[in-house]
Amino acid sequence: MPVGHKESAVERGLWFVFEAEYATENGRANWNKPMPETIQWHGPFGTAAEADAVARARMWAKIDIYAHKARVVDLTVRE
C-alpha cells in the first residue's frame, strides 16, 4: 500500500468466524445442518489471518465434540 494511503471502508476486510455444532445422522455429522441453539458468530476481524487464528482456537477449545466446526467467513463488501 502506498505511503499516506488510507483504506476506505470498501477496501477494509470484514471477516467473521461462524461456529456451531451440527446434527448427527447415522453416526455422522451433517455439515449442512447446524443446530440453531449452538450457533455463535465471532468478529468482525480486520484480516483473514486474525479470523483464522480465532477459528483454530475455537476448534481446539471444543476438540472433544465430534460434530463441532468453526469456519472463517468473508463478509467484505466490494464495489
Flag whether pLDDT at 2 surpasses 80: no
Flag whether pLDDT at 8 surpasses 60: no
For the stretch 30-77, pLDDT in tens is 999 999 999 999 999 989 999 999 999 999 998 888 899 999 998 887
Q: Which residues contact 46 (CB under 8 A, 6 or more apart)?
A: 12, 13, 15
pLDDT band at 12 (very low <50, low <70, confident <90, very high): low
Residue pair 69/8 in contact by the 8 Å Cβ criterion: no
